[in-house]
Amino acid sequence: MDLSTLQIPVEKTNESRISGVDFENLPFGKVYTDHMFITTHRDGRWQDARIVPYGPVSLEPAAKVFHYGQTVFEGMKAYKDTQGKAWLFRPEDNQKRLNISASRLVIPEVPKELFMEGLNTLLKTDLEWIPKQAGSSLYIRPFIFASGLGFHASPADEYTFIIACSPSGSYFSGKVSVRIEETYARAANGGVGFAKAGGNYAGQFYPTQLAVSEGFQQVVWTDDNTHEYIEEAGAMNIFVRIGDTLLTSPTSDRILDGITRKSILQLAQSEGIPTEVRKIKVTELLGAASDGTLREMFGSGTAAVVSPISSFGYRGKKYDLPELSDSYASHFKKRITDIQYNRSEDPFGWRYPVN
Ligand code: PLP
Ligand code: COI
């Protein structure tokens, strides 16, 4: 594929499904647009890049993704402003992170030009699917999987890269209550926790199911070694406000380097809000909860945006967080979404036009 003159052919659907979609009541990630981007890596290069109608992909049972979970993904969003213009948020960071994840799983990297051109062509084709409704956006899911065959436990000789999209509403419905986990671990040193590898999520389902059965929505993972430090949640990074200081754990082998996380840190620092990126002990949280200095906890992520945490559970006890009228969570949610939806200036150059 000559990337300098990349022209992605578009095979349009004969029958759009858009008239059947209730844009006023969008779930998260359950409705898919008319088209998808697809390309295959074979004989050492990505080839046959095209936009096709969204639909099933045919795979043989011996495809390695089924056996060894060799697959990585990204999560990003497109937003529409009041003029109907579409925007992305820091898409090049998702492209870079996809390749960081891919390399760790011996999946071939996707060149930036191919990723951006594929994404842009897809978004132009499905432009009508980007919701105009407040609070909704087009969730974009780029993913790569081993479509090559074999039961030998080794990297595949063929990969498929797809970008599929879903007009979506909120990820969480209602308040988010989390349980601090001490038994199970999401990631370990030297492992794949920093990658958006499919298996990281599959491994979380069982402990999360246990937490859900106890009335929580998500698990907050602690370090696998001591379980003394909070790390991140299932689908978001975690921030804590003690007094007026905003704290979050440093990224590591075990933690996803969230794009929303680093955007919040940059905004906070530019506003002179005291921030500390350091390890946070569970006992520090408990101490701050008991002396009243624990003012907020919130999660950050593309799907979750900024999600305030209403309470956390630890060793069978529930700790309620106060509801603040001037919370950092609502402040950063507004600042981030104002940039995303083109309602404010974009001081850091994060907004990226679809055209
Ligand atoms: N942590 C995990 C495990 C995630 O799946 C996500 C979602 O992408 C995040 C954190 C937040 O990352 P980002 O802000 O880049 O979406
Ligand atoms: C995202 O926020 O985009 C994610 O990837 C989280 C996902 C597991 C829904």
Domains in the chain: ranges and CATH: 3-168 (3.30.470.10), 176-337 (3.20.10.10)
Its pTM stands at: 0.97
The response to whether residue 232 sits with its C-beta less than 6 Å from ligand 1 reads yes
Which atom of ligand 1 lies at the shortest distance from residue 200's CA?
A: 3
Mean pLDDT value across residues 295-308:
97
Nearest of 126, 4, 151 to residue 64 by alpha carbon? 151
Q: How confident is the model at residue 4 (pLDDT cuts 50, 70, 90)?
A: low
Predicted pLDDT of residue 168: 98
Which atom of ligand 1 lies at the shortest distance from residue 93's CA?
A: 15
The response to whether residue 76 sits with its C-beta less than 6 Å from ligand 1 reads no
Residue 234 Cα to ligand 1 midpoint, Å, equals 8
Residue 130 Cα to ligand 2 midpoint, Å, equals 18
CA distance 344 to 302: 19
**Cβ neighbours around 45 below 10 Å, total:** 11
- Mean pLDDT score of the chain: 97
CA distance 162 to 70: 14
Judged by DSSP in three states, 211 sits in helix
| Rg (alpha carbons) of the chain, rounded to whole number | 21
3-state percent helix, strand, coil for the chain, nearest multiple of 5: 25, 30, 45
Nearest of 298, 293, 286 to residue 240 by alpha carbon? 298
Q: How confident is the model at residue 5 (pLDDT cuts 50, 70, 90)?
A: confident
**Do 118 and 157 touch, CB atoms closer than 8 A?**
no
Ligand nearest to the CA of 231: 1
Predicted pLDDT of residue 2: 63
Contacts of 290 (CB under 8 A, 6+ apart): none
The response to whether residue 302 sits with its C-beta less than 6 Å from ligand 1 reads yes
Q: Residue 149 pLDDT > 80, yes or no? A: yes
Q: Residue 1 pLDDT > 80, yes or no? A: no
Give, using CA atoms, the residue closest to atom 12 of ligand 1.
258
Q: How confident is the model at residue 11 (pLDDT cuts 50, 70, 90)?
A: very high
